[in-house]
Amino acid sequence: MSDLLLVDIQNRIGIITINRPEKRNALNPELVVALTTAFKELQSNENVKVIILKAAGEAFSAGADLAYLQQLQSFSYDDNLKDSSLLKNLFSLLHVYEKPVIAQVEGHAIAGGCGLVTLCDIVFSVPEAKFGYTEVKIGFVPALVAGFLVRKVGVGRTRELVLSGDLISAEKANEYGLVNFIASRDEIESEVLLYAEKMAENTSAEAIKTTKNLLSFISDLAVGEGLELAARVNATARLSADCQKGIAAFLNKENPKW
């Protein structure tokens, strides 16, 4: 595993820590590839049910680093397309990821860093963190995150965020639906761990996988098509071993052991 990341597993929780504090955890191709690899490995690990994504140091991620931006000045179209595909692959993986991903944001999440937050299922933030898609302020286009952000916060909020490039507070990010929970710096780690442990203990991994898969596709369908898909998914899920186990436990007034 790359030294750009720290990966730990405890109590069926996989913890990925971005480890470039001296660069404010800025993204570069090596880090994006390392993140993609880490998420793939944890997805295939049967001992992991929930993922926590966090970062070392003061920032969650400050977007692209200066050395990387300097390199981009000499890139051709083909170079840029190949490079963009790295982040596209990471975002695509997270969009259809089979396990819940919780972001633990203890510092600013900017540009590509905010894109990472956008792709997480649940987001905890400290009150001091700022969020923003600042690409337009340096002539970039927040293209890769746009489609996911629209699904998360709606067209109006997306336009506001990506066209202004402004940073917003954790409180406003919570109001917009980008952040789920706000916790103090002293408490965020314990609150995230508690949330992840409850999810690992109280939910069926198979049901989570199926539900996440449904959510990934249903927003692209018309209401009728979405309902048809949901009915088929529901019918299939009822035949699963996890569903049979859960129903049996419920009828016996027991808690299923997941």
Residues annotated catalytic, as ranges: 135
CA distances from 46 to 14, 17, 49, 183 (A): 11, 20, 7, 30
User: Cα–Cα distance between 148 and 166 in angstroms, integer?
Assistant: 18
- Torsion over CA of 72, 76, 81 and 82, rounded to 10 degrees? -80
Q: Concatenated DSSP letters for 74-112? A: T--HHHHHHHHHHHHHHHHHHHT-SS-EEEEE-S-EETH
Intra-chain end-to-end CA distance of the chain, in Å: 29
Q: Contact at 8 Å (CB) between 118 and 149?
A: yes
Report DSSP state, residue 120: S
Q: Do residues 25 and 111 touch, judged by C-beta distance below 8 A?
A: no
Q: ∠ CA 111-117-118 to the nearest 5 degrees?
A: 85
Token pair of 166 as six digits: 């402004």
Helix (H) or strand (E) holding 236: helix 223-237
CB 148 within 8 A of CB 121: no
Residue type, 178: L
Within 13 A of 105's CA, how many CA atoms are on the CB side? 34
